[in-house]
Amino acid sequence: MVDFGFDTLQIHAGARPDPATGARQTPIHQTTAYVFRDADHAAALFNLQEVGYIYSRLTNPTVAVLQERVATLEGGVGAVCCSSGHAAQIMALFPLMRPGDNVVVSTRLYGGSITQFSQTIRRFGWSASFVDFDDTDAIRAAVDENTKAIFCESISNPGGYLTDLPAVAAVAESVGLPLIVDNTLATPYLCRPIEMGATLVVHSLTKYMTGNGTVTGGAVVDSGTFNWSASDKFPSLSAPEPAYHGLKFHETFGNLAFTFHGIAVGLRDLGMTMNPQAAHYTLMGVETLSLRMQRHVENAEKVAAWLEADPRVEYVTYAGLPSSPYAARKVAIYPKGAGALFTFAVKGGFDACVKLVDNVEIFSHVANLGDTRSLIIHSASTTHRQLTPEQQEAAGAGPSVVRLSIGIEDANDLIRDLDQALAAATA
């Protein structure tokens, strides 16, 4: 289906009418296991000599449709869906890293990701070096012999900063490392990192891809373009894998090596499985992705422009504003829009921010983003409170900053809601 347009692929990719019933919508295959035809069939599946279904921790027909659809929209050769965006990040690193290895990551990441990279991965014996990804020389300087990947967000949470993906990809290529891009905030409608040189793309499907705030989910999309056997850096993919009776994944599966490893070893041993009902909800959300993203962006541009002109606001970080330092990058790399997540600083600091979120009526005060509903949160007291003040500032989540996720309601209603809440907050 590679010749079809995005709007067609978001509805049809990976899906066929159910052969048993003719059902047009993808059924929810709510089963844990699958009957083998015979002993030879079972052996072939476990030997990865035949593609099929064994156990729903590994593969499920409903999840498989979602995997194919997400991979198609991102321009990848395959995808592995899992239980959340955080699970996807670990799944992406799992085949690459060993104790003592490190990853170079952007300072502009979601607060939970900063904690995951700075604290949690240490328990695996991994480490992370945080770098300003606007400085490509700093990225290159942070790479050493134990570096196994470079990681960033295409549009970063919470500030909505835009990453120069072609420039970062050029650095990754020059040092022979895979570039992993979290494309949650952009979605493949606004940005396709693989076309700009990314090796792997991760998603929190919980957000814009599902779009309705009902389920959690994650995905790792494999570009199929990286040569895992070009060096001895990635033995789980290039050398005999002891976790799968000595199978050489890259030699056996070629450009699908990472995808097969993610299922056969990653999901098998980490168990970060997406349930079929979550996959079903996400599939229904993806069907309207382009329509929603167009409205998200349109509304975000209107709300951000209004906030920027308001004297009660110190600054707005939205990259879709002509005044943004990322305006030129937005035109060159993100021409369909800069997404719908950004922050603004309220005059009055921490206390004013707290009053603001307590007085909104249409905006929902929740720890989520990418919903059809407009959402608001004070990151410094919630999602980023586990970080040091220095880390908060570096992540764009200082004490006077409020994060908005602009939904698809009437933009004028959103502006009126913020107007009255700001009046209460700064009285």
- How far is the C-alpha of 213 from the C-alpha of 352, rounded, in Å? 28
Residues 293 and 242 in one domain: no
Chain centre distance of CA 423: 35
Q: For position 135, what pLDDT does the model report?
A: 97
- How far is the C-alpha of 84 from the C-alpha of 217, rounded, in Å? 4
Structural domains in the chain (count): 2
- Tell me the C-alpha to C-alpha distance, in Å, between residue 220 and each of 68, 91, 114, 248, 258: 11, 7, 19, 21, 10
Supply 203's token pair.
């998603």
Residues 212 and 97 in one domain: yes
Q: For position 119, what pLDDT does the model report?
A: 95
Structure confidence at residue 33 as a pLDDT band (50, 70, 90): very high
Q: Reduce the DSSP state of residue 180 to 3 states and report it.
A: strand
Angle value at C-alpha 217, between 157 and 238, nearest 5 degrees: 90
Does residue 374 form part of some domain?
Answer: yes
Q: Which domain holds residue 305?
A: 289-426
CATH of the domain at 95: 3.40.640.10
Expressed in angstroms, the distance from the first to the final Cα of the chain is 57
- How far is the C-alpha of 238 from the C-alpha of 224, rounded, in Å? 14
Contacts of 172 (CB under 8 A, 6+ apart): 150, 178, 179, 197, 199
Q: For position 158, what pLDDT does the model report?
A: 84
Are 133 and 108 in contact by the 8 Å Cβ rule? The answer is: yes
Residues 274 and 293 in one domain: no
Does residue 273 form part of some domain?
Answer: yes
Quick one: three-class SS letters along 53-93? CCECCCCCHHHHHHHHHHHHHHCCCEEEEECCHHHHHHHHH
Q: Of the candidates 230, 265, 285, which is a domain's last residue?
A: 285
Pairing of strands 364-365, 375-377: parallel
Tens of pLDDT, residue by residue over 137-162, are 999 999 999 999 999 999 998 889 99
Structure confidence at residue 382 as a pLDDT band (50, 70, 90): confident
Residues 161 and 137 in one domain: yes
Tens of pLDDT, residue by residue over 210-260, are 999 999 999 999 999 999 999 999 999 999 999 999 999 999 999 999 999
Q: Tell me how many helices (H) and strands (E) the chain has.
A: 18, 12
Residues 409 and 269 in one domain: no
Query: Range with the lowest mean pLDDT among 302-311, 369-378, 397-406?
Result: 397-406
Does residue 1 form part of some domain?
Answer: no
Q: For position 397, what pLDDT does the model report?
A: 76
Is residue 2 over pLDDT 60? no
Chain centre distance of CA 304: 23
CATH of the domain at 344: 3.90.1150.10
Tens of pLDDT, residue by residue over 325-367, are 999 999 999 999 999 999 999 999 889 999 999 999 999 999 8
Is residue 1 over pLDDT 60? no
Q: For position 427, what pLDDT does the model report?
A: 86
Residues 252 and 267 in one domain: yes
Q: Of the candidates 228, 250, 285, which is a domain's last residue?
A: 285
What is the rounded average pLDDT for all residues in the chain?
95
- Cis amide linkage into residue 193, ω under 30° from 0: no
Residues 140 and 70 in one domain: yes
Are 218 and 66 in contact by the 8 Å Cβ rule? The answer is: no
Residues 224 and 315 in one domain: no
Tens of pLDDT, residue by residue over 261-315, are 999 999 999 999 999 999 999 999 999 999 999 999 999 999 999 999 999 999 9
- How far is the C-alpha of 77 from the C-alpha of 242, rounded, in Å? 25
Q: Of the candidates 268, 285, 302, which is a domain's last residue?
A: 285
Residues 102 and 164 in one domain: yes
Q: Is the model more confident about 59 or about 19?
A: 59
Residues 51 and 149 in one domain: yes
Is residue 106 over pLDDT 80? yes
Does residue 26 form part of some domain?
Answer: yes
Residues 113 and 245 in one domain: yes
Residues 312 and 205 in one domain: no
